[in-house]
Structure 1
Amino acid sequence: MPTNLCEAFQRTVAARPREPALLTLEGTALTWRQYADRVASVAAALRGLDVRRDEPVALMLTNRPEFHVADCAALHVGAVPYSLYNSLPADQIHELLRSTAARVVVTERRFLPVLRAACADTAVHSLVSVDGSEGTAEDGVLSLAEAEALAPAPLDLAAALRDVRPDDVITLIHTSGTTGRPKAVEITHRAMLSQLSGTQRVLEVTGEDGGDGEGAGCGVRVPQSVRPGAGPQVQSRQSGDGAQHDQGSGDGPRPEEGGATRAQRERRARQHERRGQDVND
């Protein structure tokens, strides 16, 4: 059992280096090995921006691979990544930045105008844009590529594990503020691993599960089992008429009944049976 999320991440990289880890709407992906390489590079960039242990790092991004890369990179340097809703007005962003004392914000070009306004009179010294920048390092705006280029070498992820502890905070979840100003709730490695362990135990998720339905709106079903050396995997694509068409062949599990494999259907049956016993008891 891993003791922190960074260790869990690195175990997955070691076990499945060539398997898909992150998908985009266009269907492109980072494998777990590529994911780890990006994390090491971005982690070094954060170190180069003087991000310190236990320091909050704000992320104001859309749903894109760079979000996960920046999030995981911050964890590996012992920082505390947290999200800013990208629909918030400047005054509310300002309050969150001021209350957390974040000095670095990882974002996108589209959010630079509102962030420039929000960062006034806060501790923020760097806005890092994952898709290029319209500013200069002198005004505190630089692209992620520029930040990575300034780092001498990628972070040694394995060595970084020595400084990550189970009770380190992994993120801040801000309350809605309906009864007052939003408050930051701390989530630790230990708490998240406990939740993941419980979820895995109840749902019986294994390393061979890739999801039953469509992958996060991208129109591609994550393969049920992707093994190096295996034949082409079955995946689903959206046709022009909205119907799903399976394609591919090989020795991997074939989807049945809405994309579920036989093992998954048997697992669900056992889960339903257990739930029925709990109700009867």
Structure 2
Amino acid sequence: MSAQIEPFFDPSTHTISYVVYDRPGGHAAIIDPVLDYDAKAGRTGTASAGRIRDFVAAQGLSVDWILETHAHADHLSAAAWLRDTLGGRIAIGAEIPAVQRIFKGIFHLEEGFRVDGSQFDTLLHDDERFMIGTLEARALFVPGHTPADLAYQIGDAVFVGDTLFMPDVGSARCDFPGGDAATLYRSVQRLLSLPDDTRLFMCHDYPPEGRAPRWETTVAEQRAHNIHLRDGIGEGDFVAMREARDATLEMPLLILPAVQVNIRAGRLPPPESNGTSYLKIPLNLL
């Protein structure tokens, strides 16, 4: 059975979230949902996630999974809110403890913060299979952007997370703690070895001027036209380009709040004695 796919583009963070389902009235997975965040006020909101909730309700879907491709640095995850609202299990790659260890130190998190991935319901390993109703899904380990990235293959569709972008944008950065450009190159080669007509769904789109946002491409299109990773570009050339480019990039606007929330599966830090949750800003560290 072919997967039915509904995208949700968030213009504030350039993120595309997805509902993937087997049939109306059937079973669904939600991929990379966004929790709204007003950086000026330090206030969260659920308008974006509410669009997903409303679609799920309108289609009569039962949510089996809320799938994270990685601990995002550019948006806060709405996974916890959607699980509380719709049910399902929050899943992420089994290497997430490596990311948690790095950022527990960077943010000097509370002693009780565990770095074993237990904040998530399920930790998925490379090539692990699981079901979304009648659809079979497969986890693909694709590190490089972070040490713990997964892509999700569901039928002829692959949700690539932060590995590839649209061909005219290229590839994801690799300069976050634990990232590595050579590792990303090898991960992308794994994706581009899939059949040419495999549909690839992006996690983000940062369109050049004059182009509307897009998020679906194919292996063949990426191999022919990706400005960073098309056929003929070797690992050494890619690594040199990626590292030089990353050295010019600013940190994402939301990296400090986002990572603190996302390594907790979308939960806010525990409230302090006054009942308020706080986020930390490490000075002169990143």
Bigger Rg, which one: 1
Same fold judged by TM-score > 0.5?
no
Q: Which has the higher strand share?
A: 2
With a CA cutoff of 8 Å and minimum separation of 6, indicate the structure with the bigger relative contact order: 2
> Normalising by structure 1, what TM-score?
0.30
